[in-house]
Amino acid sequence: MSNAAPAHAIGSEACGPRPIRSPLLDRMGGPSLSHGFFTREGGVSEGLYAGLNVGLGSNDDPARVRENRAAVAGNLGVEPSRLLTPFQVHSADVVTLSDDDLAGRPRADAFVTATPGFAIGVVTADCGPILFADPKAGVIGAAHAGWRGAISGILENTIDAMEKLGARRSSIVAALGPTISRENYEVGPEFHAHFVERDPAYAGYFIESPAPGRKMFDLPRFILDRLAASGVRAEMIGRCTYRDEERYFSFRRTTHRGEPDYGRQISAISLRE
């Protein structure tokens, strides 16, 4: 079955956002959680950004980005001002949010909160978006994990921050959203060496590329294995951002085409009030 969206869907405001939901988060969170891994569908942006571009750092029309983000907030049942994303810097830094934190965008790569009525999220265009929840404790998290963040501890730090808010590691569930797949993530020898110097076992996340001297890296599996090693239950949505142009923005696809800019999709989660 094809994953391609109908041709009209990307820029169709009337359709509204149609996010993918995690069966695990739905099953464990029930009515206490609202979440979504949003695609390009249902937005108002045009051209390179066609669809639901929520990237505040893109060169898209800011008014269109704000309208797209408002549509996401509405889908999650929160006011637009309460849809919060960090200024992402490929770090291992996590920020804990409360009702006093509505202004500004801290430089970090994950948010956690125990405050109902927030929608916390991350924006991506190939990196891994991970949504976390301990529904019993009423604690949620959202993390952005590219290879730098994943190898330096963004996942583990998010879990630690959730525990400080009262979550129990054994009760936390996590879902990895659309991410670039191994089949489309070619890397050079320096990248491979950086990983295996950290841990020789990391060689298992690479296979040979058709191009001599290069490898293909499995970022989704690396993220899932680190989540499992941290003691949380996790699942993967299993969509490739590079391959599915109709639904997803991709930094790497844009780079390969020599395009001047790219959009970002959002993944977000909220505790219902």
Distance CA 137, CA 142 (A): 16
pLDDT over 90 (residue 154): yes
Residue 225 included in any domain: no
Residue 15 included in any domain: no
- What pLDDT does 84 receive? 96
Residue 143 included in any domain: yes
- What pLDDT does 246 receive? 95
For residue 36, name the pLDDT band (cuts at 50, 70, 90). Answer: very high
Reported as a single tens digit per residue, the pLDDT across 221-264 is 999 999 999 999 999 999 999 999 999 999 999 999 999 999 99
Q: Are 12 and 51 in contact (CB under 8 A)?
A: no
Distance CA 268, CA 218 (A): 23
Reported as a single tens digit per residue, the pLDDT across 56-91 is 999 999 999 999 999 999 999 999 999 999 999 999
Which residue(s) pair with 111 in the sheet?
95, 142
Within a 13 Å sphere around the CA of 24, how many CA atoms are in the beta-carbon half?
18
Q: What is the mean pLDDT of the chain?
A: 93
Q: Tokens 């800011």 map to which residue? A: 62
Of the chain, the percentage scoring pLDDT greater than 70 comes to 94
For residue 2, name the pLDDT band (cuts at 50, 70, 90). Answer: very low
- What pLDDT does 20 receive? 97
- What pLDDT does 103 receive? 66
Of the chain, the percentage scoring pLDDT greater than 90 comes to 90
- What pLDDT does 14 receive? 52
Tell me how far CA of residue 66 lies from CA of 60, 61, 62, 144, 231, in angstroms: 10, 9, 6, 21, 37
Structurally, the chain folds into a number of domains equal to 1
- What pLDDT does 141 receive? 98
Residue 6 included in any domain: no
Q: Strand pairing of 215-217 and 186-187?
A: antiparallel
- What pLDDT does 99 receive? 73
**Token pair recorded at residue 1:** 């079955």
Residue 265: name the closest of 38, 33, 103 by CA. Answer: 38
Boundaries of domain holding 159: 23-179+237-271
- What pLDDT does 8 receive? 34
- What pLDDT does 98 receive? 85
215-217, strands of its sheet edge to edge: 186-187, 215-217, 206-208
Tell me how far CA of residue 175 lies from CA of 22, 130, 220, 233, 239, in angstroms: 6, 6, 11, 9, 12
- Which of the two residues, 173 and 31, has the higher pLDDT score? 173
Residue 227 included in any domain: no
- Cα of first residue to Cα of last residue in the chain, in angstroms, is 38
Burial of 170 (0-12, 13-18, 19+ CB in 10 A): exposed
Which residue(s) pair with 234 in the sheet?
174
Is the whole model's pTM more than 0.85, yes or no? yes
60-67, long-range: CB < 8 A, 24+ apart: 60/261, 60/263, 67/43
Residue 89 included in any domain: yes
Residue 131: name the closest of 173, 90, 167, 169 by CA. Answer: 173
Residue 203 included in any domain: no
Reported as a single tens digit per residue, the pLDDT across 122-140 is 999 999 999 999 999 999 9
- What pLDDT does 30 receive? 87
Query: Using N-to-C axis directions, what is the helix angle for 154-164 and 219-229, rounded to 10°?
Result: 40
pLDDT over 80 (residue 12): no
- What pLDDT does 102 receive? 67
| Ordered alpha helix ranges (H), the chain | 23-29, 62-76, 147-152, 154-164, 189-198, 219-229, 251-257
Residue 229 included in any domain: no
Q: Tokens 């050079």 map to which residue? A: 188
- What pLDDT does 142 receive? 98
Sequence length of the chain is: 273
- What pLDDT does 13 receive? 47
Distance CA 125, CA 105 (A): 19
- What pLDDT does 9 receive? 40
Domain at 259, CATH number: 3.60.140.10
